[in-house]
Amino acid sequence: MKIWCDRANNQRVAWHCRSHPETAESNAYAEVFQLQRSFIGTSPVHVPTVADIQVVTRRPADERPAVILLELPNRHLGCQTYPYDDLVQISRLCRAANIRLHLDGARLWEIQPFYNRPFADLARLFDSVYVSLYKGLRGTVGCVLASSDAAFMAEAALWQRRLGGWMVTSYPVLIDCERAFNLNIGTFERKWRKMCAVAAAIVQATKDFTTSDGRPIVYFTPEVPTCCQVHTHIRGVTRERLAAARDEVERDLGLSVFPWTLPSPFMHELDPDWVLVNGDPLAVQGMDQYFEWSITDKNVDIPDAVFAQGWRAIVTVLFA
């Protein structure tokens, strides 16, 4: 982002309020690079639309960001992602408006089966691409920044050094990441299909449990998983009660369903200058829990019925 901004002599950047620079980097964009951030999108719980991007690209040239970051998929929104045709349109809008488009593709490996296209078809819509080598690939730690702009890459290497990194010292994790890449690449279609089947089985197994106004106690965002990672929500229960039910199921059935949950869906954590739409008082009171989880090589072979059995047991303990 810094490099694109410097090239444009424009320190404005834009992303969705639930993107990685907002949630995991302690305001590095401002504290380290003095970038000025604005949010794109009209909902804190949905990824930006083409129309949302158009609002930005139609600003006067001296008010536009130098670069827009898209997180593909968006982790904090349960791996919601963009339809491919929307991406094509967003890319076209940005190029026409002279805005660089940066891909936070930390989970690009995981989301590629959703698009059923080569990685290159996705990458070429962006000016620069970040991909993670751990997460789904299960390397130790590490990532790759890619661009077809050689001068950009040379400048990125200079900034890597300035920020305390150095390729020469990365060899232990690179070796491990190559191993992990070779083990896991090509496995994400199967893991996604498995996640879809497991989610459907859990919804089916818990469908008799609803709130007083008829909403399901257990639900997924997105409703149909986009990849092997998803959010599972449990309505109307505190973290403590849910943890107690989980422990009881683990004791009785030997099934460990999840490690811990968070209040959902972050409404109270959102930046104050964000327009809260669909505000849910239950969420603010911590009465709606969720957890983030994935199908990995560790759980992909567990039968769908086992997942369903565990969840049914938990909601039975809580609500029967």
Choices 21-29, 65-73, 93-101, 214-222; region in contact with a second copy by CB under 8 A: 21-29
CB of 26 to a second copy, least distance (A): 5
Count of all residues that appear for the chain in the document: 320
Q: Based on CB atoms, which residue is closest to a second copy, 173 or 244? A: 173
Q: Which stretch binds a second copy (CB under 8 A): 26-34, 116-124, 268-276, 282-290?
A: 26-34
Give the nearest distance from C-beta 308 to a second copy in angstroms. 33
* Total number of residues that touch a second copy (CB under 8 A): 20
State the Cα–Cα distance between residues 1 and 14, nearest whole angstrom: 10
Does residue 28 belong to the site contacting a second copy (CB under 8 A)?
A: yes
Alpha-helical regions (H) of 38-170: 50-57, 84-96, 108-115, 119-123, 150-162
Q: Which of 141, 154, 276, 277 binds a second copy (CB under 8 A)?
A: 141
DSSP-assigned beta bridge partners for residue 210: 216
Contact between 219 and 225 under an 8 Å Cβ cutoff? The reply is no
Helix 108-115 to helix 188-205 angle (10° resolution) is 80
Q: Per-residue x/- mask for a second copy, residues 249 to 288, rule CB under 8 A?
A: ----------------------------------------
Question: Who contacts 280 (Cβ-Cβ below 8 Å, separation ≥6)?
Answer: 265, 267, 288
Q: Shortest Cβ distance from residue 174 to a second copy (Å)? A: 11
The interface with a second copy within residues 151-190 (CB under 8 A) comprises 158, 161-165, 169-170, 172-173, 176
Rounded least distance, CB 300 to a second copy, Å: 25
Secondary structure element (H or E) that encloses residue 166, with its range: none
List all residues 6 or more positions away from 144 whose beta carbon is below 8 Å from its beta carbon. 130, 131, 133
> Whose CA is closest to 247, among 262, 265, 266, 261?
261
Of the candidates 27, 98, 148, 204, which one interacts with a second copy according to CB under 8 A?
27
Binding positions for a second copy, rule: CB under 8 A: 25-28, 31-32, 134, 140-141, 158, 161-165, 169-170, 172-173, 176
